[in-house]
Amino acid sequence: MYCIIILKACFYAEKDGCIHMEQRTRPIILLIIDSLMHLPLQEAIRQKRVPALQFLMEHGHYIPNVVSSFPTMSVTIDSTLLTGTYPDGHRIPGLLWYNQKERRLVNYGNGMIEMLKTGIKEVLHDSLYRLNNEHLSQEVKTIHEELALYHMSSASINGLVHRGSFLQQYNIPKIAVWLNFLPRELRTHGPFLFSFGALARVDAENRYGYLWRKGGFNDKFAARELVYIIRQQELPPFTIAYLPENDHSVHKKGPMAIQGLEKADRQLQEILNVYPTWEKALDEAIWVVMGDSGQTSVGTSRRQALIYLLPMLSKYKITKLGKRAQESEQVFLCVNERMAYVYALQDDLPLSELAALFQEDERIDVIAWQEEDTIQVRGGGKEGRLAFRPNGSYKDGYGQAWMLDGDMSLLDIRETEDGIEYGDYPDAFARLYGALYSHAGRYLVITARPGCEFVGESSPNHKGGAAHGSLHKEDSYVPILICGTDSAPEHSRIVDMKDWILRLYKEW
């Protein structure tokens, strides 16, 4: 499938032009700070607690509101970033989704109780192998694969979505083999330089990959790997690295928490300090720092903030976590924090019937489903209806055209002289369409209003903290810092990032 030996030889060849191509391009270093948001970033800068981020802000240009993918869950967002498509293109619907062919839950790693019920072995195989090698659509190419076609190498550090053109070997822990969680040997398709916690280190001496340090899935490990690559002068044309710890802080303490940003900034300082000066770092590379999704406050009242879905669906037979769906069962639930997929397993169960149940709860925000070639939209506690599909007479600010019928206020959309304008739900039509055409099955997409979060059978919740997943702007807007080029994506959306990155190389 991949000409691995030929490509590797090409990257190291001295006379075939490949090395010359890499040398005349400035490398792009893309750092993703999980749950980086505009307001807490501005507050951290005001308090002078993030000097590296402040330096980049002062020496580059800043876009505060870049639209994320939907659902606003990292695995879907990362897939959108790397492929330049929404889930209808890349086929990764969320952190949790229902595989109709196998009649089971796919869980890439959400909540310890949910993972135990799903089965640790199943979760590990889904996240370490199936995600990149089976689930991510072969009809689209990642940035890593696109660059490899032009004989340009790339690197991924701690990216859950990382498919590239080279077979990479995981270093499977003996305990995982002994417990029969993983085979002794496991490979995945990744980029030329591949780092994935303790399972695949670039720096063999990286001491931040021990089990008690979350197996390397922490900010210090990622920064140490990038520092090593730079010091060894092995920095490829494109590197993407993930700093995950801010996400944990925000989930626990709320959207305005800045402790996680301070931690990420300290690692960013370590990276910049590899160069003689920080200014020199900007001369040597293009630096892009961005978030992946926002987070919305979840209230402290369990009764009001947490939307328990099982009682609402008590009249139906619901598949238990960890079980294969049976023919007698009617509903399957996949909760992605402030968003959920609700599957109708039997053809005689109308999706409109399920939607009507959810309309009775004002804490539920958007309710949407496919009906023939049209998407139907309803709102919790609202009477209106809206239907839309692509290729109509209404044009939005992203150059997309839609057919609309009904109450546009359900998605806070306004009609203007130039077309339609999105409000609380940025790029709502394309993002809903992407989720509803992302995988096989008959299902609803439902989202929670700000302040609320869904709970399924054993879902983790973030009462008194923050969560994401929904279509709302609080979950959907992320900032981006760009240093070293005046260029920017065509539209302020993560789905446009891939084309922009590839365009930077073509311009050279």
Residue 71 has pLDDT above 60, yes or no: yes
Average pLDDT on 104-116 reads: 92
- Give the tokens for residue 380: 């919790």
Q: At how many degrees (to 10) do helices 497-507 and 74-83 cross?
A: 30
| Nearest residue to 225 (alpha-carbon basis) of 158, 131, 300 | 158
pLDDT at 312 over 70: yes
Q: How far apart are CA 449 and CA 453, in angstroms?
A: 8
Phi, psi of 167, deg, nearest 5: -75, 120
Position 386 pLDDT exceeds 70: yes
DSSP 173: -
Task: Please give the pLDDT value at position 207.
Answer: 86
DSSP letters along 423-472, please?
A: -SSTTHHHHHHHHHTSSSS-EEEEEEPTB-EEE-SS----TTSEE--SSS
For residue 360 the two structure tokens come to 């009775």
Burial class (CB in 10 A: 0-12, 13-18, 19+), 413: buried
> Is 498's pLDDT higher than 60?
yes
Average pLDDT on 40-64 reads 98
Q: Note the pLDDT tens digit of each residue in 152-167.
A: 999 999 999 999 999 9
Mean pLDDT value of segment 256-271: 98
- Looking at residue 6, its pLDDT comes to 30
Question: 57, 31, 27, 60: which is closest to 42 by C-alpha?
Answer: 57
Contacts of 276 by beta carbon, 8 Å cutoff, 6+ apart: none
Contacts of 504 (CB under 8 A, 6+ apart): 28, 286, 485, 487
Give pLDDT, residue 138.
Answer: 98
Q: Please count the CA atoms within 13 angstroms of the CA of 197 that sit on its side-chain side.
A: 17
Task: Output helix, strand, coil percentages for the chain, rounded to the nearest 5.
Answer: 35, 25, 40
The mean per-residue pLDDT over the stretch 457-482 comes to 97
- What 3-state DSSP class applies to 139? coil
* CA atoms lying within 13 Å on the CB side of residue 278: 16
Convert the pLDDT of each residue in 81-100 to its tens digit: 999 999 999 999 999 999 99
Topology of domain 24-92+136-295+471-507, CATH: Alkaline Phosphatase, subunit A (3.40.720)
Average pLDDT over all residues of the chain = 93
Q: Mind listing the pLDDT tens digit for each residue in 4-45?
A: 333 333 343 333 333 333 445 789 999 999 999 999 999 999
- Report in angstroms the alpha-carbon separations of 33 from 8, 288, 294, 465, 492: 30, 11, 11, 18, 17
Question: Burial level of 307, CB count in 10 A (0-12/13-18/19+)?
Answer: buried
Quick one: pLDDT band at residue 216, thresholds 50, 70, 90? confident
pLDDT at 130 over 60: yes
Indicate the range of 215-219, 351-355, 444-448 predicted with least confidence.
215-219
- CA-CA distances (angstroms) from residue 258 to 37, 218, 252, 364? 10, 17, 12, 29
Mean predicted confidence (pLDDT) in 436-457: 98
Give me 485's structure tokens. Answer: 């080029």
pLDDT at 123: 95
pTM: 0.94
Residue 418 has pLDDT above 90, yes or no: no
pLDDT in tens, 286-310: 999 999 999 999 999 999 999 999 9
pLDDT of amino acid 508: 58
Confidence of residue 507 (pLDDT cuts 50, 70, 90): low
**Crossing angle for the helix pair 51-59 and 38-46, nearest 10 degrees?**
110
Residue 48 pLDDT exceeds 60: yes
Q: How far is CA 154 from the centre of its chain?
A: 19
212 pLDDT band (50/70/90 cuts)? low
Instruction: Please give the span between the terminal C-alpha atoms of the chain, in angstroms, as a whole number.
Output: 29
d(CA 191, CA 102) in angstroms, rounded, equals 29
Q: How many residues does the chain have?
A: 508
Neighbours of 42 (CB within 10 A): 15
pLDDT above 70 (res 447): yes
Structure tokens that stand for 315 in this block: 């009249």
Task: Give domain limits for the chain.
Answer: 24-92+136-295+471-507, 302-462
Identify the weakest region by mean pLDDT among 126-135, 203-212, 346-355, 392-401. 203-212
Within 13 Å of residue 137, how many CA atoms lie on the same side as its CB? 20
